[in-house]
Amino acid sequence: MGISKTDLFTKKQNEMANIARVLGHPARIAILQHLVKINACICNDFVLEIGLAQPTISQHLKELKQAGLIKGSIEGTSICYCIDPKAWDKYKKLFSDFFTDLNETTCAPGCCQ
């Protein structure tokens, strides 16, 4: 595998690429959607909701937690997870800004039709 030249890009570009990579798996999207929908911490309920094995769910939760999108806390023998609202708002703004940067008038009429 080649060496990634992340130093050629801005911090913002690298951050967006990392989050896009984390969000690049449908199971992680499903986990996040479930957490957003219930708007509460959840402990060991993902297997029934997502339909994947516990070790697979755990790996996806680990990726989401490392990216900072979710928080986890130990309660008894369970680890409970919830959306990290601060990180959620940060990435929401980051991608919102990115997707609104395109000015429709920048493309010449008839371009790429």
User: Which pLDDT value is given to residue 105?
Assistant: 61
Tokens of 34: 């479930």
Beta 42-43 vs 78-83: how paired, if at all? antiparallel
What's the CA dihedral at 76, 68, 42, 39 to 10 degrees?
140
pLDDT for the residue 2: 54
**Alpha helices by DSSP H, 6-102:** 11-22, 26-38, 46-50, 54-66, 85-100
Does 39 have pLDDT greater than 80? yes
3-class SS at 4?
Answer: coil
Q: pLDDT digits over 46-104, tens only? A: 888 888 998 999 899 999 999 999 998 877 777 889 999 999 999 999 999 888 876 66
Backbone Cα Rg of the chain: 18
pLDDT of residue 40: 84
pTM, two decimal places: 0.81
